[in-house]
Amino acid sequence: MSGALSHIRVLDLSRILAGPWAGQMLADFGAEVIKVERPGSGDDTRGWGPPFIKGSESETSDAAYFHSANRGKQSVAVDMARPEGQAIIRELVKVSDVVLENYKVGGLKRYGLDYDSLKELNPRLVYCSITGFGQDGPDAHRAGYDFMIQGMGGLMSVTGEPDGMPMKVGVALVDVMTGLYAANAVQAALLHREETGVGQYIDLALLDVQVATLANQAMNFLAAGKPPGRLGNAHPNIVPYQAFPTADGHIILAVGNDQQFQRFCEVAGCPDLAKEIGFSTNQKRVENRSDLIPLLLPLLLTNSTQQWLEKLTEVGVPCGPINTIEQVFDEPQIKHRQMQVSLAHRDVGDVPSVANPVKFSETPIAYHQAPPVLGEHSVHILESILDMTSEEIESLCNQGVIQRG
């Protein structure tokens, strides 16, 4: 049984997170993903530690950051600044289906590796460019990074406590979401190619993705004309839907409808509260948030987090703990869903990885290997795909055009 994309070859020229995340997604789905890296240093995130992955013999591999976004790929270390390196990449393009890249606007044109140049070699090519601001517009040539895009794109304006500083999300969420959009876009373009035989260019910007994923918060503004603000852990459209202190910690209460609120009030010993005209519907509870929450706070302090979890879960009121990441991987549900996997790494043995959450019935994800050592597959790719001789490869190594792993 092979992966859904086992017939697809991806040339991944990207680095850091958004592009590599897309490449990893495509690799998880079965595509052959060839990661093209700079000789010597490779992807910047190989050095973004500590922590670093270590083997049983204390041999250090790359940073954990790099391992988060590059499993299942093959690494070819090629100096694209050299004409000989550009020639190698162009030859690989001829036999590839997809190119992923996240260089600055126009950055690859000087190497003859831009879309217009490469589509002449392969008209079926799907070429996905990821930049901070897109290929056109007044900011197109600016560099874009996740943190600044969270700020510019409005996410930080709705994240954090009302009286505190605007806060970024604790992971590079814009990069991750852009990687997911990229993987989706690439697959859509491949489906279009099946029908037409023609590839296409995909222009994807971090800022556009951030604005698109403001979701209900963006629509709240467009509908009402009032910019939403920061509510801490509360929800702008649902009440009560936030974190509450308990007798020994905190609990997330996620009441999604009026029936759930009624059941919560019954368990909390205040059934009449759900019948009051100001709290009987979600609309009323949102309008009267400032009156309701002070009434609920002392109620939640009467039991421990675990007691509330047991009581509320029993009657179908959505709730949950606030886990540390250590506690996440100890959760019985996470263990049952096998969200942690072990991958074989050439130099340090088995290394841990977070599983892909997609569960296919017919084409299950197969985890073939951990993220590669820099240049690990250089010789193999040049021999098996480009039919180079050992003498030709040795000469390129000696010239510094490629690097063996």
Sign of CA dihedral 82, 11, 42, 107: positive
Nearest CA-CA partner of 303 in 292, 319, 288, 291: 319
> How far apart are alpha carbons 262 and 245 in whole angstroms?
20
Complete edge-to-edge strand list for the sheet that includes strand 250-254: 241-245, 250-254, 319-320
Pair 204, 216: CB distance under 8 Å: no
Residue 83 CA from chain centroid, whole number = 34
Tell me whether the omega of the peptide bond preceding residue 51 falls within 30 degrees of 0, making it cis. Answer: yes
| Active-site choice (28, 43, 62, 175) | 175
Instruction: Classify residue 129 by its DSSP letter.
Output: E
All residues at 6 or more sequence positions from 149 whose CB lies less than 8 Å from its CB, including other chains:
132, 174, 206, 207, 210
> How far apart are alpha carbons 16 and 14 in whole angstroms?
7
Active site (annotated) includes residue 175 = yes
Pair 210, 155: CB distance under 8 Å: yes
DSSP string for 21-77: HHHHHHHHTT-EEEEEE-TTT-SGGGG--SSEEE-TT--EEEEHHHHTS-TTEEEEE
**SS3 call for 177:** helix
In 208-307, DSSP assigns E strands to 241-245, 250-254
- Burial-class residue 309 by CB neighbours within 10 Å (0-12, 13-18, 19+): middle
Instruction: Classify residue 233 by its DSSP letter.
Output: T
All residues at 6 or more sequence positions from 182 whose CB lies less than 8 Å from its CB, including other chains:
18, 19, 21, 22, 100, 128, 130, 202, 204
Can you name the residues that pair with 101 across neighbouring β-strands? Answer: 129
The CA dihedral of 258, 264, 269, 275, to the nearest 10 degrees, is 0
52-82 burial, b at 16+ Cβ within 10 Å, e below that, comes to bbeeeeeeebbbbbbbbbbbbbbbbbbbbeb
Please provide the distance, in angstroms rounded to a whole number, between the alpha carbons at the two ends of the chain: 30
Any idea which residues carry the catalytic annotation?
Answer: 175
